[in-house]
Structure 1
Amino acid sequence: MKTARGFTLVELLVAIFALSLMAMLSWRGLDGMSRAQAQTSARADEVLALQTGLAQWSADLDTLVQFPQLAALEWNGRVLRLTRRDTTSATEGVHVVAWARREGQWRRWQSPPLLTRGDVTKAWEEADLWSQNQGGDEQLRREVVVAPLEEWQVFYYRGDAWTNPMSSDASGPGMAPNPFAAAAAAAVGAAGRTGRVALVPDGVRIVITLPPGQALTGRITRDWVNPQVGGGKS
């Protein structure tokens, strides 16, 4: 009669070691997959945030409003400010919007609805202070961080060429009539006088440089065409 033979201690130790090794390799594989998934999700969020920011940039320019003796769009080398209509209702007033690079981030700021010329002028000044990080808590609460930004440049299309927005040929008696300006002008009580203000150019170009280590890196160029000269397209 044969007796049953069990595993020796050495065989058990070898089996336990093999199982431990397999478990460790499996865990490292699952951990690597989890990390890759997290990085993919983070990079997808970065791309989506940048796409949303660029879409908002175009939407702001598409809704520009020009008032007599008030600038509708201005770049001073630090911040790009513009006056846009309220998209919910023309009677709700207008907004002053600012875009700037601060602390390595591309940021957007928007005022509350404005109903008077004095409010527009005040918000215009507040936007400049915000770009210098000199605004109060209320101004900072109105900003949105779009994406990391290494640097950016702004160009205007005027006279059949891309030019420096701060050049002296950027002003004139006014721009072509805006189909939305009548209702918005009534909301802010704009007078009917015509003065020399910064003209809205035929196009605006931004060149943004994204820092390394992001989902998207390098340089991106975005052009906007004034709908009044571009057949309603931008």
Structure 2
Amino acid sequence: MYLINTEYKVETPEGVDLTAELAGPIPRILAFIIDISIRFGVIYVFYLIFQSLNWTVGPVFIAYFLLEWFYPTLFEVLYRGQTPGKRIVGLVVVNDDLTPVSWNSSIIRNFLRTVDFLPVLYVGGLITMIINPHYKRLGDLSAGTIVVYKNRTKDSEQLPKIKAIAPNLTLELEDQVAIVNFTQRHSEFSSDRAQEIANILEPIHGLQNKNAVNHLHGLGKWYLGGKD
């Protein structure tokens, strides 16, 4: 039996703790219900259109297949870990180290929903979430992912007041972690020291001094799921 503790903490190679709040079964079920309602709504609209035009409904089944298998993955990867249902509930899928979910991880966790469905109505996945200390279903265990509340981190209120900036190139994991750490610890650095650190990463952003600091803070906010 595990004690109820929704805090999830990861220590980076630099020795900095990143903390997030785990999402339990109930909010995840709610997000799932919203997503499946959206999918069935889209399919129903397609069906009505094809019926009104007296067309064969074969393409409707194809659309159902594509939505069932690729809807979650496309949204999770392209929209920073959030399907519409997760966005409404305030959840986000991330890797175990709290970095953005990747294509491989999202594909694995979503394609294994068939296993979580067993024996019926996702009972297997629900049982796994209940007995796992991090509320992981089988797909999460295989993919190395977790579901957390967006922006519910210990340092979220201390982040710089700057708009999030999406990266224009794919950064290595170490660079992402370094930028997140720099953003979360911004209050620990003097202006000169912050600029000195930001200038070291000039090959990544091509900027200097205050502009470099602001750009890195914007990237850090983006990796942490912030918008402004």
Normalised by the length of structure 2, the TM-score is 0.26
Normalised by the length of structure 1, the TM-score is 0.26
The structure whose residues are more often strand, as a share, is: 1
Specify the structure having the higher radius of gyration (Cα). Answer: 1
